[in-house]
Structure 1
Amino acid sequence: MEQLEYVTPAKDDRTRSSALPSNAEAVRAIASAVEGTLGPKGLDTMLVGDDGEVIVTNDGVTILDRMEISHPAARMVASIARAQQEEVGDGTTTATLLAASLVEEGMKQVERGVPVAKVITGIRRGIRFAVERMQGMANPIWDLEDEWLQRIAYTAGREQEDVTELVMEAALMVGREKLLDKHFRLSDAVTAHPRAESSIFSGLLIRGSRLNLQSPSLKAEARVLVVGSDLAPEPVAAHSEAGFRKQEENREKFHRMIEKLVEMKVDLVLIGGDVDPDADDLLSDADILVVAGVSERDLNRAAEHTGARVVKRTGLAKAPEELEGMIGMAEEVEDEERLGCIRIAGGAGRPFATILVSAATEEVVEERERITKDAAAAVQAAIRGGFLPGGGAAELALAREVEKYRDTVQGMEAFGVAAVAEVLHRPMGQVVANAGFNPLEKVEEVKALQWKRQSASLGIDCDRGAVCDMVDMGVVDPLPVKYHALQAAGEVSTAILRIHTVVRMRGTDDESLR
């Protein structure tokens, strides 16, 4: 076990109270890297690698994943972007901005003399109150043809009409029940390639290619077998005569299994591992498509779509009538050589949709793929939780509610609640700033009109700088995106505020800890 070395005043004269400003500064630097991308007028960030690799994007999680981060507190904030992406697929920049702002506001309260424990408790109470109120503000979506879904896709898709159309068609193809499945992610249906035409089809793209290029590349009404292991004889240690005999017996049994598959007229065999060369020859001679090294995820998706069951090597020894129930069906399977994928369309199992996105260059394709994934994730999130006014309008309305709640909180915890109320002003302020307007002036103007008209949907038109109804403009965001962003920001910010001091592990040479 590594020993720990305490950073004493003799080596570092910073006290515990000075650790918080250091962490807050690092967190603020992380937020500044992504905050300029927020909103319809947000700009792109260019990421440059040591090897000359260049990525131009305004996707928060991509920026945070690829940028060099050395400070441990900053890494904690970057981690919530990944958690946000994994949970709902969008809103990573908002989550990062909220987390950094909560740390900053919490530090201000501590500097005023409020005990950090009270600030943390107050922030937790404020976040809990805000997310409960947020859920009550949401408008549900019941119909996949609801125009709000199209507006959500259009906004999340950076106002690219072709992306919006592809995502909406995919949602309709998959169906509401599938979109509500917590294990299904519509964003996984997105694939990009510079040499493909943008399109959508009912089915899957499985990464891999047929082993024998002499086999037919296209099969109609295909019978699909999914093997979740190596397609090879069971190994035996052949260090004795008995071992050699057993090895030969296993190979004979294996050959009979392969001949059985040929007799059962299987058209496509997807294999999770390697393939015995003799088996490949036998199957290829029968014009059966053989694809090896398929990922477990793709095997499961193919089985679900075709109605097949993933079978292990030992399962292939079953009688033909038993094995028949493990074989799936697809209207068509094709080796898309230019994409390096096998296309499985019209499966007999659960419906899947694939969104194929194209662009002129590899760099643009990657960004188009990210944008399309964001749009798909936003549509699915809206189906699951409904939507709220966008542009920071909902957060600003929540800030007013949290301010009222603060007045009911006794003791010094009220200062932590006040920090939450202040932070909820930040999303609109950043959107307005990115549009080139004075955020303080515009946010106060909207806040006053929201109170006067008792409306939670008023925000700023980023083209004209005028106060407008965000819902009337079609600027809305899925509830789960905002809900999870605020909740995750509260968790990571209080974790950072709880840091008492920093100790260095012996042997560590990290400049960020000095």
Structure 2
Amino acid sequence: MSGAGQGNGEGEERYSTLVNNASAIRAICSAVEGTLGPKGLDTMLVGARGEVIITNDGVTILEKMDVTHPAARLLIQVARSQQRQIGDGTTTATVLAGALVSEGVAQVTRGVPVAKVVSGMQEGIELAVRSLRSRSRTIHGLDDPKLSRIAFTAGREQEDIADLIVSAASQLGESKLREEGYRFSDCVLSHDEADSEVWPGVFVNQKPMNLRMDKSARETRVLVLQDAFEPETVSEEALVTESGFQRHMLLREQFRNDFDKLLKLQIGLIAVDRGVDPEAEQFCSDHGILIVQRVSRKDMELLAEYTGARPLRRTALKKNVDELEASLGHAGYAAYDERLERVRVSRGQGQQHVTIIVGAATREVVGERSRIAMDAASAVQAAIRGGYLPGGGSVEMAVAHELDRHREKLTGMEGFGVAAVAQALRKPLSQIVVNAGYNPLEKVEELKAAQLSRDTDAIGIDCDTGKVMDFLHAGILDPTDVKIHALRAAGEVAAAVLRIHTVIKMKQPFEEG
């Protein structure tokens, strides 16, 4: 008996690091699990100065949490990767990662070598990914009703947001949404004093210098300056000399001469990323030209893309009118919106863009509605690119059963890793059922039997009634790429955590006094 106790103690010490890391990850997962599914609730995050964020967005919760444990920080990287690459499904990715770690630790502590568990998990994940791909359904154009259902599901059943997203997608066009590097979610703009709408154009997030100018620019040309709209300067040392002062006056006179070109070119909007000379500001005000200074790089690039403008340096203003004309953008409308404190621009002749404006009564609420809209936009774009699957954890259940059957054919210890993946895939549905107030063991078995008897992956659990239902028919859908990336990202972090044998604090770099 004493020998058995000694062995058990050695085992506990051997796995102490692994168990400690798993406990930290379990604690982090518990913070986001309660938000999963249609019956999931929100989390209130409170800052040191009393600032409040109310959300059920996984990446927001994890990003704002005060986390110090190194293994727990690895889990946060799952949500960040999911948000960066896909833009939706951060909670699912986090829950899967936590489940994979938990199941992997259970296998390791029962004596299965870590290398075998990790190898088996990697095999299981790739099998699951292939299965998900084979089950994926295709979106047939932007008028496919399935697209509205995907937006509705990802938009946490807020119909007005889903309608905004689908309308904006239709205006953008499928080719733009499929464009490499384009993020549909970047189109979302939130404001606590705005009415929700889809604006067929872009916004410049600055007030014009000439606010009192009672004129909006219509059918106008746009000048984008990646420079100051000021004359070239003379150094203070040179300015005290007669030649230096004369050069200063000559440069200012040349600068004034450039003003006439603005009128000849019919420029109605000038965006500058630095300062604007008072004389230039006055000239623009006198002649009805909107001028906006200190525009962010992001807004400058967006305005240039949308209007077809080529950003210039101020020295380019010395070119003749014909040369300058080739660098100008074109817009059908540009005006300052006092409520949003931004310049609206529409009917640009460059690349297609829209802006999805999301409004609400308070800043806290509008922030959450903005996150919901961004999730919905990301989900719609992902579905257009990669198709969709039944949601609510139903397809993961079908894939888990497929992995179980594959596990029966394996003879090596890698089978334990495959089994861990199969069990982890059941976690999203199990957690959704728990959040809806039902017994997860009962509902998981009930769903498994229903899927096998009907030979379909579309059967899920209705969170209102607790009964099985056809999720494809009900329109409970998720993008395929959201599920695949979540599983892969979760698998990478789980493998990294399981391989950690020892945690050692690094010495601080030597600092000279």
* Contact 1:238 1:247 (C-alpha < 8 Å) held by counterparts: no
In 2, the alpha carbon distance for the partners of 1:107 and 1:121 equals 14
Structure 2 equivalent of residue 22 of structure 1: 20
Higher mean Cα deviation, 31-40 or 71-80? 71-80
Structure 2 equivalent of residue 321 of structure 1: 322
2:469 counterpart of 1:468? yes
In 2, the alpha carbon distance for the partners of 1:314 and 1:414 equals 68
In 1, the alpha carbon distance for the partners of 2:343 and 2:215 equals 9
Q: Give the one of 81, 87, 93 matched to 2:91.
A: 93
Q: Give the one of 132, 135, 138 matched to 1:134.
A: 132
Deviations along 1:418-475, one digit per CA (max 9) or x if unpaired, are: 1111100101101111100001110111112212221111110111111111111111
Q: What one-letter code is carried by the residue in structure 2 that aligns with 1:45?
A: T
SS at match of 2:175: helix
* Contact 1:196 1:356 (C-alpha < 8 Å) held by counterparts: yes
SS at match of 2:258: helix
Deviations along 1:37-85, one digit per CA (max 9) or x if unpaired, are: 1001111111111211122111111111111111111111112212211
* Contact 1:262 1:283 (C-alpha < 8 Å) held by counterparts: no
Higher mean Cα deviation, 276-285 or 262-271? 276-285
Deviations along 1:399-431, one digit per CA (max 9) or x if unpaired, are: 112222333444222211111111001011011
5 Å matches for 1:423-462? 423-462=424-463
5 Å matches for 1:11-50? 17-50=15-48
**CA-CA distance at 1:244 after TM superposition:** 5.5
In 1, the alpha carbon distance for the partners of 2:446 and 2:380 equals 31
In 1, the alpha carbon distance for the partners of 2:182 and 2:349 equals 18
| Percent of aligned positions that are identical | 51
In 2, the alpha carbon distance for the partners of 1:326 and 1:64 equals 45
**CA-CA distance at 1:256 after TM superposition:** 3.2
2:123 counterpart of 1:125? yes
**CA-CA distance at 1:263 after TM superposition:** 3.1
In 2, the alpha carbon distance for the partners of 1:410 and 1:277 equals 80
Structure 1 length as normaliser, TM-score? 0.92
In 1, the alpha carbon distance for the partners of 2:434 and 2:99 equals 16
5 Å matches for 1:409-424? 409-424=410-425
In 1, the alpha carbon distance for the partners of 2:366 and 2:43 equals 16
Deviations along 1:284-309, one digit per CA (max 9) or x if unpaired, are: 23221111121211111111211212
**CA-CA distance at 1:201 after TM superposition:** 2.1
SS at match of 1:148: helix
In 1, the alpha carbon distance for the partners of 2:76 and 2:246 equals 58
**CA-CA distance at 1:349 after TM superposition:** 1.8
5 Å matches for 1:296-445? 296-445=297-446
Higher mean Cα deviation, 169-178 or 193-202? 193-202
**Residues 504, 247 of structure 1: alpha-carbon distance in 2 compared, 3 angstrom cutoff:** farther
5 Å matches for 1:23-172? 23-172=21-170
* Contact 1:267 1:288 (C-alpha < 8 Å) held by counterparts: yes
Structure 2 residue runs of 5 or longer lacking an equivalent are 1-10
In 1, the alpha carbon distance for the partners of 2:256 and 2:18 equals 68
Q: What one-letter code is carried by the residue in structure 1 that aligns with 2:360?
A: A
**CA-CA distance at 1:247 after TM superposition:** 4.8
Q: What one-letter code is carried by the residue in structure 1 that aligns with 2:139?
A: I
Q: What one-letter code is carried by the residue in structure 2 that aligns with 1:62?
A: T
5 Å matches for 1:174-253? 174-240=172-238, 241=241, 247-253=248-254
Q: What one-letter code is carried by the residue in structure 1 that aligns with 2:117?
A: V
In 2, the alpha carbon distance for the partners of 1:135 and 1:217 equals 54
SS at match of 1:267: strand
Q: What one-letter code is carried by the residue in structure 2 that aligns with 1:80?
A: V
Q: What one-letter code is carried by the residue in structure 2 that aligns with 1:60?
A: G
In 2, the alpha carbon distance for the partners of 1:55 and 1:174 equals 31
**Residues 286, 504 of structure 1: alpha-carbon distance in 2 compared, 3 angstrom cutoff:** same
5 Å matches for 1:470-489? 470-489=471-490
In 2, the alpha carbon distance for the partners of 1:420 and 1:254 equals 69
* Contact 1:16 1:501 (C-alpha < 8 Å) held by counterparts: no
**CA-CA distance at 1:16 after TM superposition:** 5.5
In 1, the alpha carbon distance for the partners of 2:59 and 2:451 equals 32
Deviations along 1:296-355, one digit per CA (max 9) or x if unpaired, are: 111111112112122233333322112111111111111112212110011112221111
Higher mean Cα deviation, 88-97 or 51-60? 51-60
**CA-CA distance at 1:188 after TM superposition:** 1.4
* Contact 1:205 1:354 (C-alpha < 8 Å) held by counterparts: yes
Structure 2 equivalent of residue 5 of structure 1: none
**CA-CA distance at 1:106 after TM superposition:** 1.1
Q: What one-letter code is carried by the residue in structure 2 that aligns with 1:94?
A: T
**Residues 18, 225 of structure 1: alpha-carbon distance in 2 compared, 3 angstrom cutoff:** same
In 2, the alpha carbon distance for the partners of 1:462 and 1:147 equals 23
Structure 1 equivalent of residue 287 of structure 2: 286
Equivalent pairs counted in the alignment come to 496
Q: What one-letter code is carried by the residue in structure 2 that aligns with 1:115?
A: P
Structure 2 length as normaliser, TM-score? 0.92
Q: CA RMSD in A?
A: 2.0
* Contact 1:217 1:335 (C-alpha < 8 Å) held by counterparts: no
Higher mean Cα deviation, 255-264 or 170-179? 255-264
Structure 1 residue runs of 5 or longer lacking an equivalent are 1-12, 509-514
**CA-CA distance at 1:282 after TM superposition:** 2.6
Higher mean Cα deviation, 304-313 or 95-104? 304-313
